[in-house]
Amino acid sequence: MPLRVAGALILVGIVILLTNPSWGLIPSFLLIVIGLVFGIMTLLGKGAAPRGSGMGPTKACPGCRSRNPMGATACRRCGYRYAQP
């Protein structure tokens, strides 16, 4: 999907440049550059929000509802002590 957006920006910039070369020079140039940067960042994996927090599996604290790693013995936020297995 992000590559389609980048392609659309580049295509619109080219169409503006071809249909109105005098007044459309700067806007078309900006659209093409933004499309290229967006496309390159998408291909490199930058600019995309991370899919997870990187914490792995979590459990909810019954005291404050914050998320803690499964192996936690106490809540980082409120100090609630989990029962030992």
What pLDDT is stored for residue 44 in this prediction?
A: 85
The number of angstroms, rounded, from the C-alpha of 85 to the middle of its chain's C-alpha atoms is 38
Is 81 inside any structural domain? yes
User: How high is the mean pLDDT of the chain?
Assistant: 85
E strands of the chain, at which residues? Answer: 58-60, 67-69
Name the pLDDT band for 61 (thresholds 50, 70, 90): very high
Q: Tens of pLDDT along 16-53?
A: 999 988 888 898 999 999 999 998 888 887 655 555 55
Determine the structural domain holding residue 73 and report its residue range. Answer: 54-85
Query: Is there a single domain that holds both residue 7 and residue 31?
Result: yes
Query: Is there a single domain that holds both residue 9 and residue 39?
Result: yes
Query: Is there a single domain that holds both residue 82 and residue 59?
Result: yes
Higher pLDDT, 85 or 60: 60
Query: Is there a single domain that holds both residue 64 and residue 36?
Result: no
pLDDT over 70, % of the chain? 87
Please count the structural domains in the chain.
2
